[in-house]
Amino acid sequence: MGDKISIKNLNFYYGKNQALYDISMKIPEREVMAFVGPSGCGKSTFLRVFNRMNDTIPYARVEGEVKIDGKNIYKTKTDVVALRRKVGMVFQKSNPFPKSIFENVAYGIRINKMHSGKKDLADRVEKALRDAALWDEVSDRLNTSAFGLSGGQQQRLCIARALAVQPEVILMDEPASALDPIATQKIEELVVELKKKYTIVIVTHNMQQAARISDKTAFFMLGKLIEVNPTEKMFTNPDDELTEDYITGRFG
Amino acid sequence: MMDRNTHSRRKLVSGAMTLITAACAIAAIIVLVLILTYIAAKGLTTINYEFLTDTPKPVGEGGGIGNAIMGSALMTLLATAIGLPIGIGAGVYLAEFGENIFGNTVRFLADTLIGVPSIIVGIFIYTLIVLPMGRQSGLAGALSLAIIMIPIVARTTEEMIRLVPQSMREGALALGAPQWRVTWNIVMPAAASGIATGAMLSIARISGETAPLLFTALNSRFYNYFFDQPMASLTVQIYNYATGPFEIEHQMAWAATLILVGLILVINVLVRFLTKKKY
């Protein structure tokens, strides 16, 4: 399969502090790429490079090249709004809007004017909720507050919200770190299911999770990419000693 | 032995502190309770339908505060119509885009304006509007009330919008929402009840103002619905009745005060009602 995202000589700065050092890698289409590494190693920062979420942070600065479908997204004429529609994101802490379940999912559809009429909107919302494996649990209370859902359901609602705008890439920033094992398992099954249609990049602190769901794994430390390899190789026979030490729990 | 001593000492100190703070809490509200009961006792007997609807009449012929209630309502309404949009708009700017020298300056000036005695606002409007127009007017009164209102609304709006978690903004941005839509249909609704509280409190505040109305709206003995004419207001009417020489006037002042306090109380109860969250 082709590469969806390719990164070349990427450096990232928060003001004077450099957070990412000279990263080059490729992320293949319709696979799950996991980013692992100790806290503060820059993996979340790196993830937020792909939908230019770092733009909201004052003094953040990017050097280098990030191409999605062959187009450099850091060109000045890049339409950030269109980019973010194409590259969806699920956050560490579920962040539903203070609206009903239905309106949460409908929001992205509405602002991007993707629907033709009420019926179509309802259909799209249902499809997104089904794809996020949430429909059966919420179909009878679509008009109640999203805050009434459990933590795991809220996170799947946020996934449904992201799916509703039909992105091509989904970025997930530790989507299961605040969830119990059962809710985590549901998210993981969902990720495996979603990769049939989407390119998924997931940041995780959970090594087993990375091993279970990802096709490739990238290991970061202190803002540097140490190693990127197929997950199987990474967890059995890594190229770098640091990777092995980290994965086997010798530090971190 | 030592242990038990420190333990009982600690309990004693803790109990004493609780008592002292409770006493302070009582002292804080006892004044309010006293004022309310005193006003009610003094004013209640004078209130009847005529009093609530009549215009002021020469002493001994009855009269009421109908036009004053109407004038207060009209000026508060116009002041709110002017001050609320500007104040909320300014607050949104300060919270979402105000991290620069301009924003800091506006913030500082707004805080200063909140602290300025309201009579100075009255003098300002007197010079700016009343003198060129050649007479006092409801418009001038409403404008001075609006000026008092704007910084209060702006700062409370800013505070409320800042309370909306950044993660919610990011969630909307990540869906491809442009900044203005994030502010308009995610941040604003999330902060709506807080903003409404600030708005109602500022309305309560301006409906109790007297000083800025004294030489802007002046007063009127008639029902007046035109903003280019002098307009009566509850507060100024209270001032006039209270400073009059006759006992009957003083009683009417008490009754009018009771009405004013009642109205402000209603606004505050409304605030409580509005701040109940829907989601």
Distance CA B130, CA B112 (A): 24
Same domain, B96 and B213: yes
In the prediction, which pLDDT does B277 show? Answer: 60
Q: Do A145 and B165 touch (CB under 8 A)?
A: no
Same domain, B7 and B84: no
Q: Which of B99, B168, B175 is closest, CB to CB, to A111?
A: B175
Residue B81 belongs to domain with CATH number: 1.10.3720.10
When scoring B175, B184, B277 by the number of chain A Cβ atoms within 10 A, the one with the most, hence best to mutate, is: B175
Share above pLDDT 70 across residues of chain B, in percent, rounded to a whole number: 97
For every residue of chain B, DSSP letters joined together read -HHHHHHHHHHHHHHHHHHHHHHHHHHHHHHHHHHHHHHHHHHGGG-SHHHHHPPB-STTS-B-SHHHHHHHHHHHHHHHHHHHHHHHHHHHHHHHH--SHHHHHHHHHHHHHHHS-HHHHHHHHIIIIIHHHTS--HHHHHHHHHHHHHHHHHHHHHHHHHTS-HHHHHHHHTTT--HHHHIIIIIHHHHHHHHHHHHHHHHHHHHT--HHHHTTT---SS----TTS----HHHHHHHHHHSSSHHHHHHHHHHHHHHHHHHHHHHHHHHHHTS---
When scoring A52, A55, A84 by the number of chain B Cβ atoms within 10 A, the one with the most, hence best to mutate, is: A84
CA A10 to chain centre: 19
When scoring A45, A48, A81 by the number of chain B Cβ atoms within 10 A, the one with the most, hence best to mutate, is: A81
Same domain, B256 and B164: yes
Domains and CATH numbers, chain A: 3-247 (3.40.50.300)
Beta bridge partners of A35: A203, A218
d(CA B176, nearest CA chain A) in Å: 5
Answer yes or no: are the C-beta atoms of A69 and A36 closer than 8 Å.
Answer: no
In the prediction, which pLDDT does A228 show? Answer: 94
Q: Do B181 and A111 touch (CB under 8 A)?
A: yes
The pLDDT tens digits of the residues spanning B52-66 come to 998 888 887 888 899
The pLDDT tens digits of the residues spanning B110-145 come to 999 999 999 999 999 999 999 999 999 999 999 999
Same domain, B104 and B189: yes
Q: How many domains does chain B have?
A: 2
What are the chain A neighbours of B276 within 8 Å (beta carbons)? none
Distance CA A149, CA A3 (A): 37
Same domain, B119 and B42: no
Q: How many CB pairs under 8 A join A and B?
A: 73
Q: Which structural domain, as residue segments, surrounds residue B18? A: 2-46
Same domain, B175 and B245: yes
Share above pLDDT 90 across residues of chain B, in percent, rounded to a whole number: 64
What are the chain A neighbours of B279 within 8 Å (beta carbons)? 98-100, 145-147
Same domain, B20 and B156: no
Q: Do B167 and A147 touch (CB under 8 A)?
A: no
Same domain, B134 and B14: no
Q: Do B176 and A99 touch (CB under 8 A)?
A: no
Least confident of A18-27, B81-90, B185-194: B185-194
Per-residue pLDDT of chain A in tens (252 residues, 90 and over written 9):
688 999 999 999 999 999 999 999 999 999 999 999 998 899 999 999 999 999 888 889 999 999 999 999 998 888 999 999 999 999 999 999 999 999 999 999 999 999 899 999 999 999 999 989 899 999 999 999 999 999 999 999 999 999 999 999 999 999 988 888 888 998 899 999 999 999 999 999 888 999 999 999 999 999 999 999 999 999 999 999 889 888 888 775
Give the DSSP H or E segment for A35.
Answer: strand A32-36
- Using the Cβ of B100 and the Cβ atoms of chain A, whether some distance falls under 8 Å is answered with no
Q: Which of B168, B176, B277 is closest, CB to CB, to A97?
A: B168
Q: Do A53 and B176 touch (CB under 8 A)?
A: no
Q: Which amino acid, one-letter code, is at B66?
A: G
In the prediction, which pLDDT does B271 show? Answer: 78
What are the chain B neighbours of A93 within 8 Å (beta carbons)? 167
CA torsion angle A86 A87 A93 A94 (round to 10)? 20
In the prediction, which pLDDT does B267 show? Answer: 85
d(CA A103, nearest CA chain B) in Å: 11
Same domain, B29 and B63: no
> In this structure, are strands A199-203 and A32-36 parallel, antiparallel, or unpaired?
parallel
Q: Which of B171, B277, B278 is closest, CB to CB, to A97?
A: B171
When scoring A111, A141, A163, A169 by the number of chain B Cβ atoms within 10 A, the one with the most, hence best to mutate, is: A111
Asked if the model's pLDDT at residue B272 lies above 80, the reply is: no
Distance CA B262, CA B253 (A): 14
Same domain, B26 and B89: no
State mean pLDDT over B4-18: 88
Question: CA-CA distances (angstroms) from residue B252 to B69, B74, B186, B266?
Answer: 13, 22, 49, 21
d(CA B98, nearest CA chain A) in Å: 13
Q: Which of B176, B186, B277 is closest, CB to CB, to A97?
A: B186
Same domain, B7 and B116: no
In the prediction, which pLDDT does B269 show? Answer: 86
Q: Which of A53, A82, A96 is closest, CB to CB, to B170?
A: A53
Q: Which amino acid, one-letter code, is at B81?
A: A
Asked if the model's pLDDT at residue B2 lies above 70, the reply is: no
d(CA B276, nearest CA chain A) in Å: 13
Same domain, B35 and B65: no
